[in-house]
Amino acid sequence: TETSAESPAGFPFVVVSNRLPVDRQVHADGTLSFRTSPGGLVTALEPVMREADGAWIGWTGSADDETEPFEHDGIHLIPVTLTADDVELYYEGFSNDTLWPLYHDVIAPPAYHREWWESYVTVNQRFADRAAAVTSEGGTVWVQDYQLQLVPKMLREQRPDLTIGFFNHIPFPAYGIYSQLPWRTQIIEGLLGADVIGFQRTADAGNFTRAVRRLLGHQTKGTVIDVPVEAEAEVKSAKHRISRVRDDKLVRTVVAKAFPISIDAARYEELARRPDIQERAREIREGLGNPKVVMLGVDRLDYTKGIGHRLKAFGELLADGTVEVEDVTLVQVASPSRERVTAYQNLRDEIELTVGRINGDFGTISHTAISYLHHGYPREEMVALYLAADVMLVTALRDGMNLVAKEYVASRFDNDGVLVLSEFAGASDELRTALRVNPHDIEGLKEAILKAIAMPKAERARRMRAMRKRVQENDVARWSSSFLATLTTPSDGLALPKAN
Ligand code: F6P
């Protein structure tokens, strides 16, 4: 077995995700370096990684990149190479033009292509092989997200000694939708290679468990699924999970349940309390012409986010004369995403046409209705925007969690600001005192916006306090520790049969 140079016996804790938690920087002189990406996952896992001598396997984000394993900020990073073809077929194709729209309730039509599927299998095998090669005997591997759903099974086949976790960051659809997938059984079997499968919402875990019953007929009880054991090797090594005999058969117990992901809430509050960031927030408002109300949307430019619905509601309020362009401004940050996928190119055209129309119809020389920014920004600037925004609009049509909603709440240490939140975002299970909306209901959305604008200060504070408490208590460190505790604790205590 090949092992990484830094750790000849392998790593006891390994995270596998499509992307490594670093961004590649190309400098003016042509040299390259890596910078930790601002994502929440790496913040959550950094301490665990350091303590456990962990490694992270993933793609650097550039095609044909053959960077050797390296250490960054105390974490061992192990790059997996994706060729330009892999990027096109596995990443842009199967991951982002088949699974992504399918798992988000077919908001855009998923495309089913056999060559994409073949590439998905090949690339998942590459990630699994890498994990199999670098994880130490009896170690723990935590696989992340929909791009790598076959990895748990592929890994278990080679390394039955490992404890394997999987977390799905996006929704898992109802069976009536999921069953469209020509490879629906293979995906379910791939995931069932894990010991614990985490989802954002209880409803997602329920959808998955139902798909398991429908497609494979396995017995399920609550969050526990009985998976018949096939290989003798599994029985010998994964003792703590091979827990019972049913109808004379050995089964592995697999847990499928919700672990809602979160953010590093304290870090957001810390930034929000910085005087320079508060000054920047004032500057932003001033730059917008000091309107009475600043509304904000922050999204990857993705058709799941309901940006068009939000613009429609705002445009109609301006057209109605219910709100005046001098009083209310919408800042919409739409960060570039998956720009080579046609559905994303079409969305961009559509959104930019709508923004242009609304601004043309309702803007004045001194006031623009929508300040539209097609950029990504550093975390400091995002927090300044959150502080500057009286109303935060999260109108996703479907979203695994939506961390922007949680970031807004975590930043508002002043207990001010109103969150308008789609009930179709996972965050709405937790943020119960947000103004919850069905973004398809444009009238309802308009009413919620007006209610947010007019909400008395005392009510704003009451709602925000309750949400802040929730986000502070359930931060991303708690998310990862509760997942890992479930993963590494022997399941329901039933004894291994002596027969083997
Ligand atoms: O959770 C959704 C997700 O697809 C992550 O897996 C990913 O890191 C993020 O959104 C951004 O997407 P992408 O990696 O395709 O740019």
User: Mean pLDDT, to the nearest integer, of 481-500?
Assistant: 66
Q: What is the 384 CA–ligand 1 centroid distance (Å)? A: 24
Q: What is the 43 CA–ligand 1 centroid distance (Å)? A: 16
% pLDDT > 70, the chain: 93
191 — pLDDT class (breaks 50, 70, 90):
very high
Answer whether 337 contacts ligand 1 (Cβ < 6 A): yes
Answer whether 475 contacts ligand 1 (Cβ < 6 A): no
Q: How far apart are CA 204 and CA 201, in angstroms?
A: 5
If you average pLDDT over every residue of the chain, what do you get?
A: 93
CB atoms within 10 A of CB 261: 23
pTM of the model: 0.94
Q: What is the 7 CA–ligand 1 centroid distance (Å)? A: 29
Model confidence at 82: pLDDT above 70? yes
% pLDDT > 90, the chain: 84
Position 30 scores a pLDDT of 87
- Say how many CA atoms lie within 13 Å of 267 toward its Cβ: 16
Nearest residue (by CA) to ligand 1, atom 15, is 338
**Residue to substitute in 24, 97, 170 for testing ligand 1 pocket (most ligand atoms within 8 angstroms of CB):** 170
Q: What is the 168 CA–ligand 1 centroid distance (Å)? A: 11
What are residue 196's DSSP bridge partners?
A: 165, 255
Answer whether 399 contacts ligand 1 (Cβ < 6 A): no
Radius of gyration, CA atoms only, the chain: 24
Stated as kind and residue range, the H or E segment containing 18 is strand 11-19
Q: Reduced to 3 states, what is the DSSP secondary structure of residue 252?
A: strand
Answer whether 145 contacts ligand 1 (Cβ < 6 A): yes
Model confidence at 57: pLDDT above 50? yes
User: Mean pLDDT, to the nearest integer, of 66-94?
Assistant: 96
Ligand 1 atom nearest 169 alpha carbon: 1
212 — pLDDT class (breaks 50, 70, 90):
very high
Contacts of 317 (CB under 8 A, 6+ apart): 323, 328, 446, 449, 450
Position 395 scores a pLDDT of 98
Answer whether 169 contacts ligand 1 (Cβ < 6 A): yes
CA dihedral sign of residues 470, 472, 473, 478: positive
CB atoms within 10 A of CB 470: 18
Nearest residue (by CA) to ligand 1, atom 3, is 169
pLDDT digits (tens, 9 = 90+) for 388-435: 999 999 999 999 999 999 999 999 999 999 999 999 999 999 999 999
292 — pLDDT class (breaks 50, 70, 90):
very high
Q: How far apart are CA 328 and CA 24, in angstroms?
A: 39
Nearest residue (by CA) to ligand 1, atom 1, is 169
C-alpha distances in angstroms, 202 versus 120, 192, 379? 27, 18, 30
Model confidence at 219: pLDDT above 50? yes
CB atoms within 10 A of CB 339: 10
Position 32 scores a pLDDT of 83
* Bridge pairing between strands 328-335 and 370-373: parallel
**Residue to substitute in 18, 123, 406 for testing ligand 1 pocket (most ligand atoms within 8 angstroms of CB):** 18
Question: Which stretch of 71-80, 206-215, 273-282, 324-333 has the lowest confidence by average pLDDT?
Answer: 71-80
Q: How far apart are CA 296 and CA 401, in angstroms?
A: 18
**Residue to substitute in 92, 99, 145, 335 for testing ligand 1 pocket (most ligand atoms within 8 angstroms of CB):** 145
Position 8 scores a pLDDT of 64
Q: What is the 354 CA–ligand 1 centroid distance (Å)? A: 26
Q: How far apart are CA 290 and CA 153, in angstroms?
A: 56
Ligand 1 atom nearest 400 alpha carbon: 1
Model confidence at 176: pLDDT above 80? yes
**Residue to substitute in 15, 151, 169, 299 for testing ligand 1 pocket (most ligand atoms within 8 angstroms of CB):** 169
CB atoms within 10 A of CB 85: 14
Position 19 scores a pLDDT of 95
230 — pLDDT class (breaks 50, 70, 90):
confident
67 — pLDDT class (breaks 50, 70, 90):
very high
Answer whether 476 contacts ligand 1 (Cβ < 6 A): no
Tokens 């960060």 map to which residue? 335
7 — pLDDT class (breaks 50, 70, 90):
low
pLDDT digits (tens, 9 = 90+) for 334-351: 999 999 999 999 999 999
Backbone phi, psi, residue 127, to 5° = -65, -45
Position 238 scores a pLDDT of 58
Q: Of how many residues is the chain composed?
A: 500
C-alpha distances in angstroms, 188 versus 65, 103, 209, 307, 415? 31, 13, 10, 32, 43
Model confidence at 235: pLDDT above 80? no
Q: Which of 387, 480, 483 is nearest to 40 (CA)?
A: 480
User: Maximum distance among all alpha carbons in the chain?
Assistant: 83
pLDDT digits (tens, 9 = 90+) for 143-162: 999 999 999 999 999 999 99
User: Mean pLDDT, to the nearest integer, of 28-32?
Assistant: 87
Position 497 scores a pLDDT of 37
pLDDT digits (tens, 9 = 90+) for 32-49: 888 888 666 887 788 788
Ligand 1 atom nearest 39 alpha carbon: 8
